[in-house]
Amino acid sequence: MFFKQNYNKTIERQDKMSVNITRAGRAVLHVTDLEAAKKFYIDALGFFETESTDDALYLRGYEEQDHHSILLKKAEKPAVEVMSYKVYSDDELDKIEQIAKKHDLPYKWVEKGEQHAIGRAIRLQDVSGMPLEFYAEMKKVDSLLQRYDLYRGAHIQRIDHLNCLVSDVQKAYNFCNEVFGFRCSEYTEDDEGQLWAIWTHRKGNVHDQAFMNGDGPLLHHIGFWLPEPAALIHVCDVLASMGMAHTIERGPGRHGLSNAFFLYLRDPDGHRIELYFGDYFTGDGDFEPKRWSVHDKTRQTFWGHEAPDSWFDEASTFLHVITGEEVKVEKAKLELYKPDFTI
Amino acid sequence: MFFKQNYNKTIERQDKMSVNITRAGRAVLHVTDLEAAKKFYIDALGFFETESTDDALYLRGYEEQDHHSILLKKAEKPAVEVMSYKVYSDDELDKIEQIAKKHDLPYKWVEKGEQHAIGRAIRLQDVSGMPLEFYAEMKKVDSLLQRYDLYRGAHIQRIDHLNCLVSDVQKAYNFCNEVFGFRCSEYTEDDEGQLWAIWTHRKGNVHDQAFMNGDGPLLHHIGFWLPEPAALIHVCDVLASMGMAHTIERGPGRHGLSNAFFLYLRDPDGHRIELYFGDYFTGDGDFEPKRWSVHDKTRQTFWGHEAPDSWFDEASTFLHVITGEEVKVEKAKLELYKPDFTI
Amino acid sequence: MFFKQNYNKTIERQDKMSVNITRAGRAVLHVTDLEAAKKFYIDALGFFETESTDDALYLRGYEEQDHHSILLKKAEKPAVEVMSYKVYSDDELDKIEQIAKKHDLPYKWVEKGEQHAIGRAIRLQDVSGMPLEFYAEMKKVDSLLQRYDLYRGAHIQRIDHLNCLVSDVQKAYNFCNEVFGFRCSEYTEDDEGQLWAIWTHRKGNVHDQAFMNGDGPLLHHIGFWLPEPAALIHVCDVLASMGMAHTIERGPGRHGLSNAFFLYLRDPDGHRIELYFGDYFTGDGDFEPKRWSVHDKTRQTFWGHEAPDSWFDEASTFLHVITGEEVKVEKAKLELYKPDFTI
Amino acid sequence: MFFKQNYNKTIERQDKMSVNITRAGRAVLHVTDLEAAKKFYIDALGFFETESTDDALYLRGYEEQDHHSILLKKAEKPAVEVMSYKVYSDDELDKIEQIAKKHDLPYKWVEKGEQHAIGRAIRLQDVSGMPLEFYAEMKKVDSLLQRYDLYRGAHIQRIDHLNCLVSDVQKAYNFCNEVFGFRCSEYTEDDEGQLWAIWTHRKGNVHDQAFMNGDGPLLHHIGFWLPEPAALIHVCDVLASMGMAHTIERGPGRHGLSNAFFLYLRDPDGHRIELYFGDYFTGDGDFEPKRWSVHDKTRQTFWGHEAPDSWFDEASTFLHVITGEEVKVEKAKLELYKPDFTI
């Protein structure tokens, strides 16, 4: 009930949309061991190393023309420095500053030159406590889409989405829908019709940003798009042959939600990566979001497999965009569910 | 040279875009034998029959929530009645009427109820002589994306694009870019820097609408999206086992342009269908269109295969939106090229 | 240590081999509900129904030229009537009678005409208590290998192997190697070098017949060969879309042992079916069997997934070839292991 | 008519078979440029280099436990030194000497140590003029089947077959069937019932050795087995991205004969390699060979594609096992056919 209203409002808003966000752009992760990260991300998963320094690793998928979609920085503790969204043009960033001011959100500018290979950016702590960054410009590099001779591991194509645990999904969604124009593709409700999880997008597939009910804010995972199912099977084999089968946390499987063929992995610092393939087009003006009950086993895994506890219980810590300190986690507002039982 | 300018203008224009077109929506084809069409489209290719009458066949792909993406009407002669685009909301249609008036294009309204399963629509003959239709509303049906038990043939997911031969590609592109907001993803130039072919989109992948230099206007093909390469191989086998191998005109192969894995088929009336899988995201504000020389063999087929003459020489006739008569074909403005030689 | 000797003896024996067994041929299963079986085997898995009566269902894979590879008979209780092996020519059957006599095994002839679509057969209870049948002739039918238009579900190609739990693996292997000429491809040992499980073949791939240490004799599963990994993924989707996801017991995954891509299913009566793809050639005279430690996690699942308890604990009951009564199960001689722990 | 008799005789003969040949084992090719060969076979196709010297390159597929399945020797002119078959055990080689003597075929022993990594071998010039080698022993190396981290290019698994043009197919078949025990899986006849082409095997799939009517003897191609169709598509992309699309001569396609998914390539010296996947089991005693008419278009390519002229007209020259001179080519005894026409 609540939902249709929200959704109609969304459509209305898109017509007068002030902020033109294009897509999930990159994640900046802190990792404790760059060599271990290289082995996982480059040697096993097949990310392409655009550039690296003693302190940082800039990685991209084969089709990406932007310098990187994941930036790994050497640090004392694993954490998520920021999740970044690409906007359509530079003047969108000024509109975002106005939003930050209007909603009284902590924010700061990171001028061009302060970060490698990226133009000016604005960082803010959103209403759920997540550190967000917006930028219009990143250094252009060659697409390697047709450099099949370089393909390795999972044949990763591009960043697809970010998925976060938040203590109040409805609040997180309202903000990202009303202010940033993200539209819902699918969502999960509990028996009282409360919003338990939601998948939202700007680029016309199932998601750029998802929220799930949980202690949060925490980054649950970063999703990368694969070119075909065979690449997902192959990377399982590659990981196993390198002695890294333990990094496979869940899958391969088919999501009920999104319909994607998926694999979840944990990097050496515990950050969770989803390899993802095969959702569908969601860009129609009259697209009707798909509702799932929180009790429906098939929403998680269409084939009925249970996810391990770690998938529900573990996620990456965010840092504050101003202080750099760890963002405090609040208890989930709604009950926690695992596919088969309540915890 | 010319191109970057155009392209920058495009970006500018998108900000003040008056017409919000979502995507290629459907094609309305005249066919002479519905039974033969059923055998090809449904039994072999695996299109899902939403509905049929004695005179018409409404087909869709498995993920589509709209009633149909291809409408086959029984007629004396094969022809293309109209190519249809879906707009974001109904009021966009009024803007399109203003465009038709401003550019002095023949147009007419088709009111809701006049066509089955579709809301009010506006049809116009564009500057290249192509019959275009725009609509915001089509009857909603269930997505069959997760009804894998129904999947047959090529496991067709959704309509992807329309590709036309036009006598003046630059003129066709200028109009569809400046007026309808289509953006270029890739293009082909001859040695003089004249635009020989172009791929343009609204939905964020390689194309909704392509133009190729040729005697035109003619519909070259309609492209449908597949879920994975295996489905494309499988449908070749299915066609062969049904004694329909002769409908395979070209492929399987990899396009240099778009990077898609493709197969071209001819329906019993000669209309060309492309099964298409695997291009890439093009929605960034600073996306840089990819240039190909008309002499580059790999633009057509990355693996070097030549296309048969029929692929260059044969295409479907358009009808006039007002008179219903066949649209006269004009000579191509630029030289014709086949991958290896000039004809 | 023990093994190399056995293996060398095997080679020696093959030269003077008296019984020329070709391959695993069929299984005869008792099921309680033929309609439920049809839905599972035909509608979901895509077995081809060669023939059916009120009491029996004869099924085959698409490449098979023999009438059936699985025969389901309606019965009060689920059971395995017999596992059947095809021999190279009819006179091999007489040699098998001599073997039965020499080893004092209960046996009987089933004359041509007593069983539908199959020539004369000899049935015996082997040293492990398994009901085995041998036949040289089965009614020929058309291969449907190139009738891709008929392919459904898992695109099942042919029967591949039979896998049994036996209380004494060494004894079971010795008999089937020395008497029937099955050769080992891979095997599992415990810390004392005792044979814990073994994969043996006649047809030149990893197995026709496997034995695993467990309470037995019980039929663990029947394996069917698929044409490619995509078919295995597809059948998971088909099962889920038909509301039969609960029949998926384990997988998809990659076996360490055999290297096959696998899926385990349970039919409505609990009989276990393995869909299996992608092992390797084992027919060389100097082929060296591969040894695995019972403690090696990757032998079960190369990617590290644990199998569910049911996969270890449940299996199908055999019937006695003479009395038709259930064969009594004896305790496993060696310790039971699950991949991560001892039970 | 002629055929069934031959075939029955074959079966009879297998029972008292004197020569136990296991499979096609290797080819020894002369190439003019080892660096060019490395780029093609290793960098592009993904063969694994077991060993190399200044004059020779020893390559194998990932599952092979034998040292190599293709040996490339640096030479002035491209040629085929020998095609090698692996026998079950060393004493088979003595039987082959008796055969050579009985049929008055030129032969010689190559003692262990004379060739790298291979035991004693016997080489003979067979009735069709082909240089054949037989060996029982080759140096064992690790199977790389589960070293997926090393997989490149076409993920080549193992050698599958050898295919030769011979001037008299019936004569070639009679000898290899009656003397060496190769059994027919499929064959092509002309209108007079004369044997035009034949596929024969020892290892239980469609072929180890094929003969096609043509000016001969010439080696038409060497076939290598792939793990799945996706690998065949991938290697086309890899070749194209390395600027080697011109090495693709024919395919990808589906053979009517054998049902295999195939790709034909030409190495830098013109030797033809087939990448091959997906035939079927042929080992039954009562297996019925499949007959094709020479006029049936689908025998060549199930999907109806024509093969290029080069595929019919070009093949590799054999050398004489004793003199080392090029074997003289004789005119084909039967008419030449291409799928659509007579040349």
Query: pLDDT (tens digit, 9 = 90+) per residue, C80-113?
Result: 999 999 999 999 999 999 999 999 999 999 999 9
Interchain proximity C239–A298, CB inside 8 Å = no
Cα nearest neighbour of C45 on chain B: B149
Q: How far is CA C194 from the centre of its chain?
A: 23
Spatial separation of the C-alpha atoms in residues D92 and D85, rounded to whole Å: 11
Closest partner CB to D298 (pick from B233, B240, B303): B240
- Quote the minimal CA–CA distance from C124 to chain D in Å: 22
Which residues in chain B land under pLDDT 70?
1-18, 339-343
Q: Is the pLDDT of residue D16 over 90?
A: no
Section A203-230 average pLDDT: 97
Is the distance from CB of C45 to CB of C156 less than 8 angstroms?
Answer: yes
Spatial separation of the C-alpha atoms in residues D254 and D10, rounded to whole Å: 29
Closest partner CB to D23 (pick from C157, C229, C283): C283
Average pLDDT, chain D: 93
Q: Is the pLDDT of residue A277 over 70?
A: yes
Nearest of C62, C67, C42 to residue C228 by alpha carbon: C62
- On chain B, the residues whose CB falls within 8 A of the CB of D236 are 254, 302-303
Give the per-residue pLDDT at C127. Answer: 97
Q: Which of A23-32, A290-299, B334-343, C274-283 has the lowest mean pLDDT?
A: B334-343
The tally of CA atoms less than 13 A away on the side-chain side of residue B161 is 27
Q: Would you state the structure tokens that stand for residue B191, as one six-digit string? A: 């040695």
Give the per-residue pLDDT at B17. Answer: 53
Closest partner CB to A148 (pick from D149, D230, D234): D234
Interchain proximity C146–B237, CB inside 8 Å = yes
Chains touching B (at least 3 CB pairs under 8 A) are A, C, D
Q: Is the pLDDT of residue A177 over 90?
A: yes
Is some CB atom of chain D closer than 8 A to the CB atom of C15? yes
- Extract the runs of DSSP E, i.e. beta strands, from chain B: 21-31, 48-52, 56-60, 70-74, 79-87, 107-110, 121-125, 131-135, 158-166, 183-189, 195-201, 209-213, 218-225, 248-254, 261-266, 272-277, 290-293, 316-317, 337-338, 341-342
Give the per-residue pLDDT at B7. Answer: 40
Is the distance from CB of C201 to CB of C289 less than 8 angstroms?
Answer: no
Section A269-296 average pLDDT: 96
* pLDDT tens track for A50-74: 999 999 999 999 999 999 999 999 9
- On chain D, the residues whose CB falls within 8 A of the CB of B303 are 236-237, 239-240, 245, 248
- Cross-strand pairs, D122: D109, D134
Q: Is the pLDDT of residue A7 over 80?
A: no
Residue burial D169-193, b: 16+ Cβ < 10 Å; e: rest: bbebbebbbebbbbbbbbbbbbeee
Long-range pairs of D244-250 with CB within 8 A, sequence gap ≥ 24: D244/D39, D244/D40, D244/D44, D245/B298, D245/B302, D245/B303, D245/B304, D246/B304, D247/D40, D247/D44, D248/B303, D248/B304, D248/B305, D249/D308, D249/D310, D249/D311, D250/D307, D250/D308, D250/D311
Q: Is the pLDDT of residue D13 over 60?
A: no
Spatial separation of the C-alpha atoms in residues A230 and A217, rounded to whole Å: 34
- On chain A, the residues whose CB falls within 8 A of the CB of D63 are none
- On chain D, the residues whose CB falls within 8 A of the CB of B260 are none
Spatial separation of the C-alpha atoms in residues C206 and C182, rounded to whole Å: 11
- On chain B, the residues whose CB falls within 8 A of the CB of A259 are 145-146
CA angle B44, B46, B51 (to 5 degrees): 115
- On chain A, the residues whose CB falls within 8 A of the CB of C254 are 233, 236-237, 240
Section D8-31 average pLDDT: 72
Q: Which of residues 276-335 of A touch C (CB under 8 A)?
A: 298, 302-305
Q: Would you state the structure tokens that stand for residue A100, as one six-digit string? A: 């930050």
Give the per-residue pLDDT at A17. Answer: 53
Interchain proximity A304–C245, CB inside 8 Å = yes
Interchain proximity D241–A44, CB inside 8 Å = no
β-pairing verdict for D290-293 and D183-189: parallel
pLDDT-above-70 percentage for chain D: 93
Q: Is the pLDDT of residue D12 over 80?
A: no
CA angle B322, B325, B328 (to 5 degrees): 110
Q: What would the DSSP string read from start to end of C224-275?
A: EE-S-HHHHHHHHHHHHHTT-GGGEEEEEEE-SSS--EEEEEE-TTS-EEEE
Cα nearest neighbour of A244 on chain C: C303
Spatial separation of the C-alpha atoms in residues C319 and C123, rounded to whole Å: 12
Q: Is the pLDDT of residue C70 over 90?
A: yes
Is A173 exposed, middle or buried, given 0-12, 13-18 or 19+ CB atoms closer than 10 A? buried
Cα nearest neighbour of B12 on chain A: A89
Q: Give which of D281, D282, D302 to mutate to test C binding, by max C Cβ within 10 Å.
A: D281
Spatial separation of the C-alpha atoms in residues A247 and D271, rounded to whole Å: 43
Spatial separation of the C-alpha atoms in residues A276 and A263, rounded to whole Å: 7
Spatial separation of the C-alpha atoms in residues C196 and C308, rounded to whole Å: 19
Interchain proximity C22–D285, CB inside 8 Å = yes
Closest partner CB to A302 (pick from C245, C252, C261): C245
- Cross-strand pairs, A274: A223, A264
Q: Is the pLDDT of residue A308 over 50?
A: yes
Cα nearest neighbour of C159 on chain D: D281
Q: What would the DSSP string read from start to end of A134-187?
A: EES-B-B----TT-GGG--TT---EEEEEEEEES-HHHHHHHHHHTT--EEEEE
Section C139-145 average pLDDT: 98
Chains touching A (at least 3 CB pairs under 8 A) are B, C, D
Is the distance from CB of C84 to CB of C28 less than 8 angstroms?
Answer: yes
Closest partner CB to D241 (pick from A44, A146, A240): A146
Q: Which value, to the nearest 10 degrees, does the dihedral of the CA atoms of residues A26, A32, A38, A39 take? A: -130
Q: Which of residues 147-166 of C touch B (CB under 8 A)?
A: 147-151
Confidence of residue C340 (pLDDT cuts 50, 70, 90): low
pLDDT-above-90 percentage for chain D: 89
Section D328-333 average pLDDT: 97
Closest partner CB to D245 (pick from B229, B230, B298): B298
Is the distance from CB of D19 to CB of D88 less than 8 angstroms?
Answer: no
Interchain proximity C298–A240, CB inside 8 Å = yes
Nearest of C291, C296, C223, C290 to residue C261 by alpha carbon: C223
Give the per-residue pLDDT at D172. Answer: 97
Q: Which of residues 107-126 of D touch C (CB under 8 A)?
A: none
Residue with tokens 């008979």: C73
Give the per-residue pLDDT at A297. Answer: 81
Spatial separation of the C-alpha atoms in residues C134 and B68, rounded to whole Å: 55
Q: Give which of C148, C152, C277 to mutate to test B binding, by max B Cβ within 10 Å.
A: C148
Section A233-262 average pLDDT: 97
Is some CB atom of chain D closer than 8 A to the CB atom of B248? yes
Closest partner CB to B241 (pick from C44, C146, C242): C146
Q: Would you state the structure tokens that stand for residue A273, as one six-digit string? A: 């990566």
- On chain B, the residues whose CB falls within 8 A of the CB of C146 are 237, 240-241
- Quote the minimal CA–CA distance from C159 to chain D in Å: 10
Task: Enter the pTM of the model.
Answer: 0.96
Q: Would you state the structure tokens that stand for residue D248, as one six-digit string? A: 């693709």
- Cross-strand pairs, D278: none
Residue D104's contacts (CB-CB under 8 Å, 6 or more residues apart) are none
Q: How far is CA B86 from the centre of its chain?
A: 13
Spatial separation of the C-alpha atoms in residues A180 and A174, rounded to whole Å: 9
Grouping H, G, I as helix, E, B as strand and the rest as coil, residue C112 is strand
Cα nearest neighbour of A256 on chain C: C240
Q: Is the pLDDT of residue C341 over 60?
A: no
β-pairing verdict for B70-74 and D341-342: unpaired
Residue burial C235-254, b: 16+ Cβ < 10 Å; e: rest: bbbbbbbbebbebbbbbbbb
Confidence of residue D297 (pLDDT cuts 50, 70, 90): confident
Is the distance from CB of B259 to CB of B279 less than 8 angstroms?
Answer: yes
Q: Which helix (H) or strand (E) holds C210?
A: strand C209-213
How far from B319 is each of A99, B124, B312, C141, CA to CA, in Å? 50, 11, 21, 52
Q: Give which of A149, A234, A238 to mutate to test D binding, by max D Cβ within 10 Å.
A: A149
Q: What Rg, from alpha-carbon coordinates, does chain C have?
A: 19
- On chain A, the residues whose CB falls within 8 A of the CB of C252 are 252
Give the per-residue pLDDT at C17. Answer: 52
Interchain proximity B248–D302, CB inside 8 Å = no
Spatial separation of the C-alpha atoms in residues A266 and D105, rounded to whole Å: 64
Q: Is the pLDDT of residue D4 over 50?
A: no
Higher pLDDT, A148 or B343: A148
Interchain proximity D148–A241, CB inside 8 Å = yes
* pLDDT tens track for C185-235: 999 999 999 999 999 999 999 999 999 999 999 999 999 999 999 999 999
pLDDT-above-70 percentage for chain A: 93
Spatial separation of the C-alpha atoms in residues C2 and A240, rounded to whole Å: 30
Closest partner CB to C238 (pick from B148, B240, B242): B148
Give the per-residue pLDDT at B298. Answer: 84
What DSSP state is assigned to residue A204?
S
Is some CB atom of chain D closer than 8 A to the CB atom of C95? no
Is some CB atom of chain C closer than 8 A to the CB atom of B230? yes
Is some CB atom of chain C closer than 8 A to the CB atom of B248? no
Cα nearest neighbour of A238 on chain C: C303
Closest partner CB to D228 (pick from C89, C229, C256): C229
Is some CB atom of chain B closer than 8 A to the CB atom of C234? yes
Give the per-residue pLDDT at C38. Answer: 98
Q: Which of residues 37-56 of B touch C (CB under 8 A)?
A: 43-44
CB-defined contacts A:D, below 8 A: 37
- Quote the minimal CA–CA distance from A71 to chain C in Å: 27
